[in-house]
A and B are shown apart, each in its own frame.
Chain A
Amino acid sequence: MTSSKKSIKPARYGMTIDLDRCNGCGACMVACAVENNIPPVPPQGGDRKGLTWIRVYKVDNGVEGAGRRSAFVPVLCQQCGEEPPCAHVCPQQAVEVDPATGIVGQMPERCLGCRYCMAACPYHARYYNWWDPAWPAGMEKTLNPDVAPRMRGVVEKCNFCHARWHAAREQAAADGKPDTEPVSYVPACAEACPARAITFVDLNQTPPPATGFRLLEKLDTQPKIYYTSKREWVRKIADAPHPGKEPSRG
């Protein structure tokens, strides 16, 4: 589907998340749901079937009692580099990396719901619609017309609020800016964070922080989300040294 000739100057969007600022409030999670028309799931779904394109986990240093220290880690689609594991395994070719933005696009309209991509994603950042979207009566009036709601049976995930990229490009076109100039926009989570923990950047313009680390670097997925923290134990958790025994919840 993707041709190689480029008519616009490509951007490579990514994020820097400061784990020393995140206080686990969850405003990013709710803002994401508002922007992307993500419905609340029925309570029987629990957290195994929740639809949380961005999800804040609580981790700790594993010490009991007064020596315990905790931190919050927002995890969203890590927008893996050129060859994301999910794109590899999709039988429908419903996942592809946009050359203009670097965003890994998930196409729910093409997805057949096999959930192979959910198994392939090492970050558990993909979510399946177990139910048709259902908002409480009257709340459909508040849906965002720039994002299409998904039916049940398909997988969805963060796409860096692509509707806002569309809107930014339309504004640039209306303003007469040249087509080759990349646009700047802010996804809902970065906009909502009261602690300014999430910074959305174009990695082609802003190099990643020198002290930044990424989740599960050893898997060589080349994610575009960089985390920073001054705490050594938090950096160590990003490598998941004890898979399955991580002291984490949420």
Chain B
Amino acid sequence: MTTTRRNLFKLAGGAAAGTILTPVPWRLITDTALLSENWPGVPQPKRGEPSVRFGNCSLCAAGCAVRARCIGGQPVSLAGVVEHPLSRGALQSALRNMRSGERCAVLDLRPGRTASWTYRRAMASIPNGTYLSASQPAAVDLAAVKTILSLGVPVLDGWGTPGNVLAARSRFRLIQAEASESRTAIMADEWLPIRPGSEAALLAGVTGGSIAEAAAQTGLTEQQIVSLERELRENGPSLVLGPNGEVSGDVLVQRREAPVPDEWKKAVPVSELDSMADGSIRVLLIDESAPGDYLPWPAIRGKLAPESVVVSFAWSKEGYGRQANFTLPTAVYPEAVDDIPPAIDCPVATFRLAAAWVAPPDGVVNPVEFIAGLAGLDAKNALQERASAIQKSGRGTIFDPAGAGKPADLWKALQNGATWIDDGEAKARAKTADDKKRSSALLEAKTADDKKRSSAPLPLAIAMAEPHTPALVSPLCSKVTYESNLRLGTHGAALHPSDAQGAGLTTGSRARLETAAGSVTVDVTVDDAVPPGVIQVGGGPDLQNVCGAALRARVVRS
């Protein structure tokens, strides 16, 4: 047999035929397919022992009860607790060198917590210590209300405790007075389209102020406003929600706080930022770890002394971290323990905890312990002390989603997701002359502001389309923002086609939104549901900073 090319080919042919009859090619094909399923491009979920934990979410004021499905102790999904009565299924140097009259202040964005008491106690031990609450907690009895007039407040889109509001929906008639058809306006019983920025005038009009002025500003007829006022009176009990947090109506209740230990009563009183003199705050400590109402930075800046020090305690740099001198990182739900104050639609006091389910990263600071430490106060066990005071008072009932009945140890039950609910009937709060005074003062202030700016009138009125979102938005919220355009993201703005065309903008354009308070980059969406002459903006702090205090804007292509 000679070595010819032909023989070589025959050998190769035999080898090929033989190879096909062996596992080699088939195995390699299968293995390649299997390899493609396992390559590092696709993360593999971790395995572990499944368990269920109950708790409360502290990411917003609603504090909804949550049931966490955990794998190996790590929560992998959260669901609501349907039977929960509240949420119904559906989160040293500056100090020493302060000059006379200068204050050290803590700005609490979510007042009403046990931490709030700790801050008040700490400030009592610091010279000129002041406790500033970002908002006045009010309480409303939704079960009793028959008519709600909302002036741009997103009643059905994040107000109060959403599960509770939606469960009570069929019992009240909702009139939504708003410039554009927001989510709440779509679901309301009646949508009253009014001119943007005229909410305060309408509020005055229906609470005893000038009806003619209200009609002129809103674009409604005087007859409409008169019948609106009559409906609120005759179809009561009614509730009016103003654009700047004003709450008035017969369903306001006097909600007492959950009991506190008597020793704590030695604390500074609650003050508001507005009542501080301009330039009087030397040291400002902002607790942003429990997000709540967002005060626009310009409002805060005016109260700061020339050589002030601002420290922000936050879990994201996107909030006050951009203006503060120092940002100290804190843990975020579900890494931290905190109690959640009752929401606006809860007529009685409650006490519930957001427990720590995962360990926070290294280097985080606990703002309560830090600030208490400044005053030499030991506040490590404040929550437990509060729980003891509550248990000792003998008041209230306990809802335990884990179903253990009345637990002997309140503190242990709270850590496993139980909620203490005060008893006692909701006592109606007497209507005071202050309510009326406040709304007309607001109207005067707004008109004065407008007159100041009328030297350079800006073309667009601003409508806040999305409720203020916490600075850190979950990456999965992309599903409802840029993956579907359902909601405006933190830097989103929507314009009517005619306004967009005028500025040379299309959907997806980058633009600069300019107001009297500053400017910010926005991502534009063109939407003919937005009324002409209005720009709808999303809820991020950047936008809140420039839009909160101002009413008119201009947008230019970047």
Contact = CB atoms under 8 A, between A and B. Distances in A.
A52 interface: yes
Contacts, number: 159
A52 B481 CA distance: 11
B408 interface: no
A43 interface: yes
Interface centre among B74, B162, B484, B529 (most CB of A within 10 A): B484
A8 B42 CA distance: 35
B485 A30 contact: no
A140 B76 contact: no
Main secondary structure of the interface of B (DSSP, over half): loop
Nearest to B156: A23
A214 B162 CA distance: 29
A83 interface: no
Given A142-B76, A149-B45, A56 B186 contact: no
B335 to A, nearest CB: 12
Contacts of B529: 58, 60, 68, 70, 249
A234 to B, nearest CB: 11
Contact of B45 (A45, A65, A143, A194): A143
A31 B531 CA distance: 32
Interface stretch (A98-106, A128-136, A236-244): A128-136
A77 B193 CA distance: 36
B483 A40 contact: yes
Interface in A13-41: 23-26, 29-35, 37-38, 40-41
A50 B484 CA distance: 7
A46 interface: yes
Interface residues of A, number: 60
Main secondary structure of the interface of A (DSSP, over half): loop
A23 B163 CA distance: 13
Contact of B163 (A35, A152, A194): A194
A24 B484 contact: no
Contact of A50 (B46, B162, B474, B482): B482
A151 interface: yes
B528 A64 contact: yes
A69 B474 CA distance: 31
A246 B128 CA distance: 63
B42 A194 contact: no
B187 interface: yes
Contact of B77 (A34, A40, A149): A34
B487 to A, nearest CB: 6
Contacts of A68: 181, 529
Contact of A143 (B43, B183, B482, B486): B43
Interface in B150-203: 156-158, 162-163, 166, 181, 183-184, 186-187, 193
Contacts of A56: 480, 484, 486
Given A40-B475, A68-B529, A140 B43 contact: yes
B36 interface: yes
Contacts of B77: 31, 34-35, 142, 144, 188
B37 A46 contact: no
A66 B193 contact: yes
A46 B181 contact: no
B36 to A, nearest CB: 7
A232 interface: no
B79 interface: yes
Contact of A141 (B46, B166, B480): B46
6 A-B pairs closest in CB distance: A194-B90, A50-B483, A26-B480, A132-B41, A143-B45, A145-B45
13 contacts: A26-B479, A26-B480, A41-B478, A46-B508, A56-B486, A69-B186, A135-B475, A140-B46, A142-B76, A145-B76, A191-B80, A192-B79, A194-B166
Interface of B: 36-37, 39, 41-48, 71, 74-80, 89-90, 156-158, 162-163, 166, 181, 183-184, 186-187, 193, 474-480, 482-487, 508, 527-529, 531
Given A192-B80, A194-B80, 19 more contacts: A23-B183, A26-B479, A29-B486, A33-B476, A38-B479, A40-B476, A41-B483, A51-B483, A56-B486, A65-B193, A109-B37, A133-B43, A143-B44, A143-B46, A144-B71, A145-B47, A150-B42, A188-B77, A193-B90
